[in-house]
Structure 1
Amino acid sequence: MSDNAKSTDASNATQAAPRGRVTVVGSLNMDLVARAPRLPMPGETLAGHTFAQVPGGKGGNQAVAAARLGAQVAMIGCVGQDANGATLRASLEAEGIDCAALATSEHAPTGVALIIVDDASQNAIVIVAGSNAEVTPASIDAQEAMLARADVIVCQLETPPETVRAALAAGRRLGRTTILNPAPAANALPGDWFALIDYLIPNELEAATLTGMAIATPDDARRAAHALKARGARNVVITLGGQGVFALLDGDVDGKHLPSPKVDAVDTTAAGDTFIGGFAAELARGSAVADAIAFGQRAAAIAVTREGAQPSIPHRAEVTA
């Protein structure tokens, strides 16, 4: 068989593969990223290595991840009427993401995130919400048809909490699978949210905030997962960085620690978003939950070997190779 024929067959196979629908309700930020030897102390000024300005925001990152990793993706969010907003919209459209529900604020600037990444690949982030604050429950009501077409609805906490609840409630009412990444988590979630969540996916710091439990090991994550599931979440998946994830799934009494692939990390920015995007894409495709988790882990392991948020997110072919 010729190389051209092999290429055509591979292309046809890719097009024939099932692609689920993922709708992301969330934030879009322009990331201002500085790399430095270490994170600064309060009041300290450090000389940095490099600076970059790249598209980000947890909602945007997760939408791009889901799209690159195999899903048909729609984005519900809001950008400002400025250069950053135009850049973010164009970057989503370039990924094939449906931006029909991406509004433009007439008053607020596009959200920004100030990110410092140290030589150990750890980061510190400050977010200014800007136009993300204008994603309201009315925005959700206006997109009922889009949400109804989704297989999976993904939310985070960088838009107003009442909006997040409205999106989760719409997903439950419409019989869609709902994922909540409770980031950034400043307080415990309202009790009536848990019954609306099919997959609650915090990292160890977020799980600690939600439960009041210190989490340093998979055993700590086990206790936190049981506490969160007891509040009503159907499934709890706690990401633990280099230690992998702890998953407590529906019908599973004990839960399971799933180690992550071993890689040399360069930048952990967007690793969690890549995991969630890949997990959501696989769930929407119809994969088993355990397979979706493993796929998300492989995708995140690739992302941490690259710098930046969205630039680090791999494509499906890289994960399945």
Structure 2
Amino acid sequence: MNKKDVIVLNSHGVGQYAYTDHMPKWGETLSVKNWYVAEDGGKGTNVAVALGRLGIHTAYIGKVGNDPWGDLGEKWLKEAGVDATYMYRTDEVSTGTGLILIGPDGQNTVIDGDSSSVALKEEEVIQALDDMKGSKYFVTGFEIPMHIALAGAKHAKELGMLTALNPSPLPQEKMNKLDYIDYLFINEVEGRYICNEAEDAMIDTRSLMKEVQELYGIKNVIMTLGGEGSASLCEDDYFEISPVKVDKIVNTAGAGDGFMAATITNLVWGKSLKEAMEWASKYAALSVTINGTIPSYRPLQEVEDFIKDNL
């Protein structure tokens, strides 16, 4: 039995970056600077690489094309110690790519292209999970088709795994009850969208998270709050984690993926959720000082040294 600490089911793609002084409006021709292809994966490879570099026994499930972008994803996974057996390769599709627009203060907007995981079949996911029966955690998100991600989560739960979902990008169709999800990771913008709350509406974080919790029947909701830190609502137990400040923010792209991976890592280590999120905030603080997503996910010792020397 090929048991893992964590199984990640989500998309692989390769990011392209461009720097701009503002976000474009419809019909606008936007001039950008320093457009380049970076070491930047999709949410699946981001989370899996981060986990692997932190020493977590990790496997990845997804589908990519038989092309250089797919080769690059497989290389990143294997170099991080991630089992890429179930990174299925196919000639049906090309591996996806995306454009990340970086603003003057390091904030970002991500434009996702088609994911090669549209060719991923539910039976392939189920077979992979069955082959890794006995694994501890299952992590997924919606850079692959929602029905594939949720089918995987349901089956993982049936196999006794703890399940985590980052429903990003948010789907237009309803997600219905998600009571088979143990940990829902969202940001504040996503929380407001889910609950039909206007961006400038006055609502406290706990109330917003309670709405999400009741809507989907989930016990544990974890919300990132950008520069304000993060918060968690576990049944009726609410707590906030203060933000970790760094001198210079270079790039925030992938920080949420890193935060999720670091939180799951600490849960695997047996930490409480509060302890896990505190450590993950420090991990994410290091990640935003480094350009690109894949390079920003540092090995455990380097993270520990950063925490010791700076925080």
| Same fold, judged at TM 0.5 (above) | yes
Q: How many residues align?
A: 300
Alignment partner for residue 238 of structure 1, among 213, 223, 226? Answer: 223
1:200 counterpart residue number: 184
1:3 counterpart residue number: none
SS at match of 1:93: helix
Higher helix share: 1
Q: Are 2:160 and 1:175 aligned?
A: yes
Alignment partner for residue 40 of structure 1, among 4, 8, 24? Answer: 24
SS at match of 2:262: helix
Q: Which ranges of 4 or more aligned residues in structure 1 deviate by more than 6 Å?
A: none
Give 1:236 shift.
Answer: 0.3
SS at match of 1:149: coil
Equivalent residue letter for 1:112: T
Contact 1:186 1:209 (C-alpha < 8 Å) held by counterparts = no
Alignment partner for residue 122 of structure 2, among 137, 158, 175? Answer: 137
1:64-75 to 2 correspondence within 5 Å? 64-75=49-60
Contact 2:146 2:171 (C-alpha < 8 Å) held by counterparts = no
Give 1:38 shift.
Answer: 3.2
Give 1:282 shift.
Answer: 1.3
Contact 2:18 2:32 (C-alpha < 8 Å) held by counterparts = no
Give 1:219 shift.
Answer: 5.6
1:310 counterpart residue number: 294
Give 1:49 shift.
Answer: 3.2
Q: Are 2:254 and 1:257 aligned?
A: no
Alignment partner for residue 281 of structure 1, among 265, 280, 290? Answer: 265
Q: Which runs of 5+ in 1 are unaligned?
A: 1-19
1:291 counterpart residue number: 275
Give 1:215 shift.
Answer: 5.6
2:71 counterpart residue number: 86
Deviation per CA, 1:56-80: give whole Å up to 9, x if none: 1011111111112231110000110
1:187 counterpart residue number: 172
Give the whole-Å Cα distance in 2 for the aligned partners of 1:143 and 1:202: 26
Out of 70-79 and 139-148, give the one that drifted further: 139-148
Higher strand share: 2
Q: Which runs of 5+ in 2 are unaligned?
A: 306-311
Give the whole-Å Cα distance in 1 for the aligned partners of 2:77 and 2:10: 13
Deviation per CA, 1:70-104: give whole Å up to 9, x if none: 31110000110111111111111111110011101
1:13 counterpart residue number: none
Q: If the length of structure 1 is used for normalisation, what is the TM-score?
A: 0.88
2:308 counterpart residue number: none
Q: If the length of structure 2 is used for normalisation, what is the TM-score?
A: 0.90
Out of 211-220 and 146-155, give the one that drifted further: 211-220
